[in-house]
Amino acid sequence: MKKASSGIILLYDGDCRICTTFARSMVALDLRHALRIRTIQESKGLLEGLRGDEILDAMHVLTPDGRRLTGGEALPALLSGLAGAPALETLIVRSSLVRAAMRRLYSVLAEFRGHLTCRFDGAPASSAARTPR
């Protein structure tokens, strides 16, 4: 994978209002202006190696050192980038409890997203008709 940039890039589902709101919220919190956001739809070239059905399943973060992190695994790098404290990511990653809590928080938010608004497959409204991504 190519080197991402000098800052963090957050890739989000541009068709999802919750994802768009989250990405814009991260920009609002980014007092250092180190974060760039892009929709997954316009950035598929940065997600080479992921299956088509995985691309929209979660947010992705590209780090300055070229790592691609997905979903809850991306939160430590995202928070570290926003805080301007690379050591923060290391501390979070080394704490299995904090890392597990972040993954769980992300999975709850992703489930919430899937049940609310993101995508519908055209079938009548029911929980089975919703396809979270």
Give the separation between CA 117 and CA 80, rounded to whole angstroms: 29
Residue among 9, 5, 19 at smallest CA distance from 119:
19
- 8-116: which CATH topology? Glutaredoxin (3.40.30)
Torsion of CA 74, 43, 111, 71, to 10 degrees: -10
Angle in degrees, CA 67, 69, 75, rounded to 5: 120
pLDDT for the residue numbered 7: 87
Rounded to the nearest angstrom, the gap between the alpha carbon of residue 21 and the centroid of all alpha carbons in its chain is 12
Q: 65 with 2: CB under 8 angstroms?
A: no
pLDDT for 17-46, tens place per residue? Answer: 888 999 999 999 998 899 999 999 999 899
pLDDT for the residue numbered 68: 94
pLDDT for the residue numbered 101: 85
Q: Which CA distances in Å does 75 have to 72, 102, 124?
A: 5, 7, 35
Q: Is the pLDDT of residue 54 over 90?
A: no
What is the model's pTM?
A: 0.72
Q: Is the pLDDT of residue 96 over 70?
A: yes
Beta bridge partners of 68: 62
Domain range annotation of the chain: 8-116
